[in-house]
Amino acid sequence: MFITEINDMDLKQIAESGQCFRLMQTGENTFAVTVSDFYTEISQKGNQFTFSCSEEEFNTVWENYFDLKEDYGKVKGLADPADSYLSKAVLFGSGIRILRQDLWEMIITFLISQNNNIPRIRRSIDLLCSELGSLCQAAWGQPYTTFPGPEAIMDAGLSGLGRLGLGYRDKYILETAKHVTDGSFDLKALKASEYEKAHLMLMEQYGIGKKVADCVCLFGLHHIDAFPMDTHMKKIVEVHYSGSFPYERYKGYLGVIQQYLFFYDLKAQKL
DNA sequence: TAACAGGAAGTAC
DNA sequence: GTACTTCCTGTT
């Protein structure tokens, strides 16, 4: 167990922000999260966080995952006070961070996300993990499943993917798994690439268009200037920015700004 | 209650 | 510009 203080972080907001689908709320103030082979449970009270893992694992895995070296207070301070919509969005989603998630998982996750809704995306990913992932056990006995790698997806084939509610996206996922296993889609090279190059490499894949490529760049590669333009963002830019967003002003943090705006549109309008 | 229409973090053709 | 899978949501 490891207890620490973290500012500008709200697990509930992050879990609902649509950037990750495997940060699960398990109690009023508790969450469970998995990345590659690691699993931890976290409870939050204000800015006090209790991780169920060791301090060592926190330092090697979770500090990076939650992007704790970045000062999000500073980023929020950049918001133009004259921009009342952005100011409200930043206040509303003040505990959002851009997680440093697994690249392969992000590729598959955002392939699933296209023309889809969040509850259904979550359900597909849950099924994908429970059907094709590996069953593991935390040090204290809690079972969890990992996200299936490309080989597991290849083994499942189209018939194995059929029960997961993926719809027409199943063939995109299988094709991507195939290209990763045969080496024609090199994830290491993708990781080593700059944003523009990475975006092009992603767009070459069957089923990955501009928007999904930007999501993978932002959430899987931490290219923080990626600005995924989906239906919510199109509407926001149209309605609140007369069709032109001040990209230049926020260069270096565009992805974070996008996430505040997206989350505000997603959640606040429904209250 | 159950059926139904409309919509959903888009992309390929 | 249209088809695409299937589930979620709100409305009869």
Strand B contact set, beta carbon < 7 A: A 17-19, 110, 113-118, 120, 168, 205-213, 215, 228, 230-232, 259, 262, 266
Q: State pLDDT tens for residues A19-63.
A: 999 999 999 999 999 999 999 999 999 999 999 999 999 999 999
Is residue A76 annotated as a catalytic residue, yes or no?
Answer: no
- Kindly state the tokens that stand for A217: 């760049």
The pLDDT tens digits for A240-254 are: 999 899 999 999 999
Q: Beta A48-51 vs A135-137: how paired, if at all?
A: unpaired
Strand C proximal to A115 Cβ, under 7 A:
yes
Check whether A70 has a pLDDT greater than 90. yes
Q: Which nucleotide is nearest to A234 (CA to C1')?
A: B9
Is the entire prediction scored with pTM above 0.85? yes
Q: Is the CB of A269 under 7 A from strand C?
A: no
Mean pLDDT across A182-211? 97
Q: Are A35 and A219 in contact (CB under 8 A)?
A: no
Q: Kindly name the residue from A12, A88, A211, A267 that is annotated as catalytic.
A: A211
Would you state the torsion angle of the CA atoms of residues A41, A15, A157, A210, taken in this order, to the nearest 10 degrees? -140
Asked if residue A160 lies in contact with residue A132, where contact means CB atoms within 8 angstroms, the answer is yes
C-beta separation of A45 from A28 below 8 A: no
The token duo for A48 is: 């006090």
- At A223, which amino acid appears? H
pLDDT in tens, A152-175: 999 999 999 988 989 999 999 999
Are the C-beta atoms of residues A173 and A112 closer than 8 Å to each other? yes
A118-143 pLDDT, tens digit each: 889 999 999 999 999 999 999 889 99
In angstroms, what CA-CA distances link A161 with A118, A131, A156, A181? 19, 9, 6, 17
Q: Where are the beta strands (DSSP E) in chain A?
A: 2-5, 23-25, 30-35, 38-45, 48-51, 135-137, 143-145
